[in-house]
Chain A
Amino acid sequence: MSRERILGAVVLLALGLVPLAAHVMGEPFTITLATRAAILALAAVGLNIALGIGGLVSLGHATFFGIGGYAMGILASHVQNYEPMFEWPFLFEGSTSMPFIWLVAVLVSALAALLIGLLALRTSGVYFIMITLAFGQMFYFFSISWSAYGGEDGLSIYVRNGFPGLNTLDPIQFFGLCYAVLCLVLLGAHLLARSPFGLALGAARQSPDRVQAVGLDPKRLRLVGFVISGAITGLAGALFADLNRFVSPTMFSWQTSGEIMVFIILGGVGRLFGPVVGAAVFVMLEHFLGDMSEFWHIWLGLLLLAVVLFARGGLVGLIAGREKAHD
Chain B
Amino acid sequence: MTPILIAEQVLNGLQSGVMLFLMAAGLTLIFGVMGLINLAHGSLYMVGAFAAAATAAVTGSFVLALVAALAAAAAAGALVERLVIRRLYDRDHLDQVLATFALILIFSEGTRWIFGSFPLYLDIPEALSGPVTLPGGIQYPLYRLFIIGMGLVVAALLFWLIARTRLGIRIRAGENDREMIAALGVDIARLYTLVFALGAALAGLAGALVGAIQSVQVGMGEPVLILAFVVIVIGGIGSIEGALVGAILVGLTDTLGGIFLPQIFGLFMEPAAATQTGAALASMAIYVLMAAVLAWKPTGLFGAKS
Q: Which of B287-302 contact A (CB under 8 A)?
A: 287, 290-291, 294-295, 298-299
- Report whether B229 and A134 are in contact in the complex, using a CB–CB cutoff of 8 Å: yes
Q: How far is the CA of A305 from the CA of B99 in the complex (A)?
A: 5
Residues in chain A within 8 A of chain B (CB atoms): 51, 57, 59, 119-120, 122-123, 125-127, 129-131, 133-135, 137-138, 141-142, 144-148, 254, 258, 261-262, 265, 269, 295-298, 300-302, 304-305, 308-309, 312
Contacts of B101 in A (CB 8 A): 258, 261-262, 304
Is B63 at the interface (CB under 8 A from chain A)? Answer: no
Contact present for A126 and B222 (CB under 8 Å): no
- Could you list some 16 contacts between A and B, CB below 8 A? A120-B294, A127-B298, A130-B229, A131-B233, A134-B229, A137-B287, A138-B287, A145-B280, A145-B282, A148-B276, A261-B98, A262-B101, A295-B109, A298-B109, A304-B101, A305-B84
| In contact, B93 and A142 (Cβ under 8 angstroms) | no
Q: Do A305 and B102 touch across chains, with their CB atoms under 8 A apart? A: yes
**Chain A contacts of B283 at CB under 8 A?**
138, 141-142, 144-145
Q: Collect the chain A residues with CB atoms within 8 Å of residue B102's CB.
A: 300-302, 304-305, 308
Asked if B108 and A308 make an inter-chain contact with CB atoms under 8 angstroms apart, the answer reads no
Against A, the Cβ 8 Å flags (1 = close, 0 = not) of B83-107 are 0100100000111011101111110
Q: Which residues of A have CB within 8 Å of B233?
A: 127, 130-131, 134
A147 to B274, CA, bound (A): 12
Interchain nearest-CB distance for B222 vs A (Å)? 6
Chain B residues at the A interface, C-beta cutoff of 8 Å: 31, 37, 84, 87, 93-95, 97-99, 101-106, 108-110, 112-113, 222-223, 226, 229-230, 232-233, 237, 276, 279-280, 282-284, 287, 290-291, 294-295, 298-299
Task: Give Cα A265 to B99, complex, Å.
Answer: 10
A304: chain B residues at CB < 8 Å are: 98-99, 101-102, 105
**Is the contact region of chain B dominated by helix, strand, or loop, or is it mixed?**
helix
In whole angstroms, what is the CA distance A265 to B113 when docked? 26
A308 to B282, CA, bound (A): 38
Say whether A308 contacts B106, CB under 8 Å: no
The answer to whether A265 and B290 touch across the interface, beta carbons within 8 angstroms, is: no
How many Å lie between the Cα of A304 and that of B94 in the bound state? 13
User: Smallest CB–CB gap between A158 and chain B, Å?
Assistant: 25
Partner of B294, one of A122, A297, A305, A312: A122
When distances are taken between beta carbons in the complex, the residues of chain B under 8 Å from A295 are 109-110, 112-113
Task: Give the Cβ gap from B87 to chain A, nearest Cβ, in Å.
Answer: 6
A302 to B233, CA, bound (A): 30
Contact B298 A122 (CB under 8 A): yes
Q: How far is the CB of A136 from chain B (nearest CB, A)?
A: 8
Contact: A126 with B31, CB < 8 Å?
yes
Please give, as numbers and ranges, the residues of chain B lying within 8 Å of A129 by CB-CB distance: 37, 93, 97
Closest residue to A253 on the B side, CB-wise? B222
Residue of B nearest to A295 (CB): B109
User: Which residue of chain B lies nearest to A302 when distances are taken between CB atoms in the complex?
Assistant: B106
Q: Is the CB of A297 within 8 A of B284?
A: no
Whether A131 contacts B290 by the Cβ 8 Å rule is yes
List 19 additional contacts besides A131-B294, A305-B84, A308-B98; criterion CB under 8 Å: A122-B295, A126-B37, A126-B93, A131-B290, A134-B226, A134-B229, A135-B287, A137-B226, A138-B283, A141-B284, A142-B284, A145-B276, A262-B101, A298-B105, A301-B103, A301-B105, A308-B95, A309-B84, A312-B95
The distance from the CB of A185 to the nearest CB of chain B, in whole angstroms, is: 22
Give Cα distance in the complex from A301 to B102, angstroms. 4
Residue of B with least CB distance to A312: B95
Which single residue of chain A is at the shortest CB-CB distance from B84?
A305
Q: Please measure, in the bound complex, the distance between the C-alpha atom of A141 and the C-alpha atom of B232, giving whole angstroms.
A: 20
**Contact status A119-B109, CB under 8 Å:** no
Establish whether residues B290 and A298, one from each chain, have CB atoms under 8 Å apart when the complex forms: no
Taking the closest CB of chain B, its distance from the CB of A65, in whole angstroms, is: 17
Q: Which of B95, B112, B280, B295 contacts A119 (CB under 8 A)?
A: B295
**Residues on the A chain within 8 Å of B37, using CB:** 126, 129-130
A134 touches B97 (CB 8 A): no
A254 in contact with B222 (CB, 8 Å): yes
* Inter-subunit contact B98/A133 (CB<8 Å): no
Given A137-B226, A298-B113, A308-B95, A123-B84 contact (CB < 8 Å)? no
What is the distance, in angstroms, from B226's C-beta to the closest C-beta of chain A? 5
Of A123, A130, A135, A262, which contacts B298 at CB under 8 A?
A123
Q: Which residues of B contact A138 (CB under 8 A)?
A: 283-284, 287
Q: Which residues of B contact A301 (CB under 8 A)?
A: 102-106, 109
A123 touches B99 (CB 8 A): no
- Interface-centre pick from B104, B110, B287 (highest chain A CB count, 10 A): B287
> Is there an interface contact between A305 and B103, defined as CB atoms closer than 8 Å?
yes
Q: Determine the distance from Cα of A103 to Cα of B94 in the docked complex, in whole angstroms.
A: 31
Does A297 lie within 8 Å of B108, measured CB to CB? Answer: yes
| Contacts known (A126-B237, A298-B105); A57 close to B94, Cβ less than 8 A | yes
Residues of A within 8 A of B237 (CB): 126-127
The 3 closest A-B pairs by CB, nearest first: A301-B105, A138-B287, A141-B283
Chain B residues with CB below 8 A from A305, complex form: 84, 99, 102-103, 106
Separation of A141 and B287 alpha carbons in the complex (Å) = 11
Docked complex Cα distance between A304 and B93 (Å): 15
